[in-house]
Amino acid sequence: MKKVVIGMSGGVDSSVAAILLKKQGYEVIGLFMRNWDSTINNDILGNPTLSNDICPQEEDYNDAIKVCEKLEIPLYRVDFVKEYWDYVFMYFLDELKKGRTPNPDIMCNKYIKFDMFAKEAKRLGADFIATGHYARIKDGKLLRGIDDNKDQTYFLSQLSREQLKDVIFPVGELTKKEVRTIALEYDLITATKKDSTGICFIGERNFTKFLKNYLPNQPGVIKDIETNKILGEHTGLMYYTIGQRKGLNIGGSDQKIFVVGKDLENNILYVASGDENNYLYSDEALIDTVNWISKTKPTNCTAKFRYRQKDISVSLEFTTDNNIIVKYPDLAKAVTPGQACVFYNNDECLGGGIIKEVRKNGQKVKYL
């Protein structure tokens, strides 16, 4: 009997994944990853621990225990707090300091879930590892999950073919509704549990208050990029992303106002008004940290510049330094440095990289 070690997160997706693996005849072992310690991490930089900062992972661990007990599978626990801090959270902070908008979930998958976790699973004798991701693997190709609304291949785009070689994604063939139905049939405690959101493993928090523990708060002015008029004050450039409309606290305008740029040197947040203002659109982006899952590298495909975005048609120009110039003449909105650009050929996720520079008409977009 083949042995599968599955990452049990305390959520409904990994719970049902474990059920499906058992039904398929595998010997299933659960492994819970502890990647964040509020008491330790809040004090690493000499900052006081927040008295009400209770890590949600303990609740998730207790739920994972109850699920594994019900399914009669063993559950182990492994601590990756230091590794998560070194490889994911420091990356997250460094990107914010640069005024970029990072995606820590992608790096968590690359360095923790499919590296550290996989090594621990092998020590437990695993033939395969499994997670509750909505994705599929067929003939060595990474494919989108059946549920378009839950597909998570975007977050797996930095994985190598080697990392995906012995991976099973049991819920990739199901919709979220079907997953919850199965969990209800088994009367699992996670059946109606709310999906986790927020920063990977850190959970839902007041983002501004949370980051104050790690990065100094530097308020500055908000300016209209066209008139240079001061419209208000920002709480720190790191708290804003390109295209953001909510939370700007700017009154006195009948039009929608969007974040369109950051001047790091002068600590200015630039905004522009109007639903379709030109400052949010670009036709080209430079992509670095490129990772290919596919064995082929097409010059034409589709791409996503953020998770919830619909695919857009792009052409790829490969540079001598292993970067890619992605061109999209039909224009795209709010392409943001630091976010992932992920390439697709129909259902296949080809790989992706990180947006380094955004351009329009051959020129770098100002303040991006």
CB 355 within 8 A of CB 287: yes
CB 142 within 8 A of CB 164: yes
| Residue 203 banded pLDDT, cuts 50, 70, 90 | low
Q: Is the pLDDT of residue 26 over 90?
A: yes
Identify the CA nearest to 289 among candidates 113, 158, 182. 158
Return the half-sphere exposure (C-beta side, CA atoms, 13 A cut-off) of residue 187. 2
Encode pLDDT of 228-275 as tens digits. 999 999 999 999 999 999 889 887 667 789 999 999 999 999 999 886
CA distance 308 to 336: 14
CA distance 139 to 162: 13
User: Which pLDDT score is estimated for 210?
Assistant: 80
Model's pTM, two decimal places?
Answer: 0.92
Q: Is the pLDDT of residue 199 over 90?
A: no
Q: Residue 153, by phi and psi: left (phi above 0), alpha (psi -120 to 50) or beta?
A: alpha
Encode pLDDT of 167-197 as tens digits. 999 999 999 999 999 999 999 999 999 887 6
Higher pLDDT, 334 or 38: 334
User: Which pLDDT score is estimated for 57?
Assistant: 77
| Residue 213 banded pLDDT, cuts 50, 70, 90 | confident
Q: Which residues are catalytic?
A: 108, 200
User: Which pLDDT score is estimated for 208?
Assistant: 75
Encode pLDDT of 63-118 as tens digits. 999 999 999 999 999 999 999 999 999 999 999 999 999 999 999 999 999 999 99
User: Which pLDDT score is estimated for 90?
Assistant: 95
Q: Is the pLDDT of residue 20 over 90?
A: yes
Biggest CA pair distance of the chain: 69
| Residue 205 banded pLDDT, cuts 50, 70, 90 | low
Identify the CA nearest to 153 among candidates 357, 302, 367, 332. 302
Q: Class for domain 217-273, per CATH?
A: mainly beta
| Token reading at 366 | 């100002």
CATH code for the domain defined by 278-364: 2.40.30.10
CA distance 18 to 28: 7
Domain boundaries, the chain: 3-207, 217-273, 278-364
User: Which pLDDT score is estimated for 200?
Assistant: 63
How is residue 302 annotated by DSSP? E
User: Which pLDDT score is estimated for 52?
Assistant: 46
Per cent of the chain over pLDDT 90 is 81
User: Which pLDDT score is estimated for 277?
Assistant: 73
| Residue 47 banded pLDDT, cuts 50, 70, 90 | very low
Per cent of the chain over pLDDT 70 is 91
Print the SS3 string covering 219-258.
CEEEEECCCCCEEEEECCHHHCCCCCCCCCCCCCCCCCEE
User: Which pLDDT score is estimated for 359?
Assistant: 96
CB 337 within 8 A of CB 359: no
CB atoms within 10 A of CB 92: 22
Domains 3-207 and 217-273 are alike in CATH topology? no
Average pLDDT over residues 52-66: 79
Q: Is the pLDDT of residue 290 over 50?
A: yes
Average pLDDT over residues 271-288: 89
CA distance 141 to 164: 9
| Residue 38 banded pLDDT, cuts 50, 70, 90 | low
Which of 37-41, 61-65, 137-141 is least confident?
37-41
CB atoms within 10 A of CB 319: 12
Task: Give the DSSP letter string of 251-318.
Answer: -S-SS-EEEEEEETTTTEEEEEESTT-GGGEEEEEEEEEEEE-SS---SEEEEESSTTPPPEEEEEEE
Q: Which fold has domain 3-207?
A: Rossmann fold (3.40.50)
User: Which pLDDT score is estimated for 212?
Assistant: 83
Higher pLDDT, 43 or 169: 169
User: What backbone phi and psi angles, to 5 degrees, belong to 79?
Assistant: -105, 115
Q: How confident is the prediction for the chain on average, in pLDDT?
A: 91
